[in-house]
Amino acid sequence: MKQALIISLTIITLTIYGQEKKNEVDFNKLTEIVLTEHDIRKRNSFIKSLHIGMGIGPETLLSLFLPKVSLYNFHEYRYFDTYYGIEGTIGILVAQWYSFDCIFGVKKNNFSFDTSIGVFWYPKQKFDAEPAGPYFHSTLNPKIGIKIWNLWFKAGPSIFLYKDHPENQETLGMMNFTKFGNVHYNFEILVNFR
């Protein structure tokens, strides 16, 4: 038993000493890495961007007084840029509502195409003894956009993935502002605050 303990302690000590000695030897053999201009551009191409603006449609209902806030991460490639991010709105026009989106898109020069999956929640509220809500829905929102100077205009249809609303109330009245035919649309104008 005593011999097994001495052998195991000796092996542990030699193993630790050997690892420490290996690090000392490798430390003196460092080489310089030369980066090309393409490597540097690729490394610095991750850009965070804050956009604030207004939108109307099932994605945000109406974001006007408290704006829609979007935080994007852009990644530049040789022929196009990709971006992903999050968007959120808290509405307090006459009542309160909340929306949140996760977004992914592709951008080429001033044109963009993105899609987001969003949730919208309008809690139960009471107006003149007539209750409204609660409403909840989840939407898929593909949009095309054009960027002019610091403004980014985006528009596209909204596809309902899930709806939950009171049985006696079909939808919110403001939800139909951007309904053309049987399709709901989203429109937004964002300003870049980088």
User: Where do the structural domains in the chain lie, given as residue ranges?
Assistant: 1-30, 43-192
pLDDT > 70: percent of the chain: 74
Asked if residue 89 lies in contact with residue 60, where contact means CB atoms within 8 angstroms, the answer is yes
Tell me which amino acid residue 184 is.
Answer: H
Q: What is the mean pLDDT of residues 129-145?
A: 83
pLDDT > 90: percent of the chain: 25
CA distance 42 to 88: 29
Rounded to 5°, the CA angle 156-160-165 comes to 130
Distance in angstroms between the alpha carbons of the first and the last residue of the chain: 69
Q: What is the pTM of this model?
A: 0.68
Residue 184 half-sphere exposure toward CB, CA atoms < 13 A: 21
What H or E segment, with its residue span, contains residue 7?
A: helix 2-27
CA distance 129 to 122: 18
Local structure of 95: helix, strand or coil: coil
Task: Give the per-residue pLDDT at 149.
Answer: 87
CATH 2.60.120, applies to 43-192:
no
Q: Is the dihedral of CA 164, 167, 170, 171 positive or negative?
A: negative
Asked if residue 162 lies in contact with residue 133, where contact means CB atoms within 8 angstroms, the answer is no
Which range, 14-18, 48-52, 89-93, 115-119, is most confident?
Answer: 115-119
CA distance 170 to 84: 33
158-169 confidence digits (pLDDT tens): 998 998 877 766
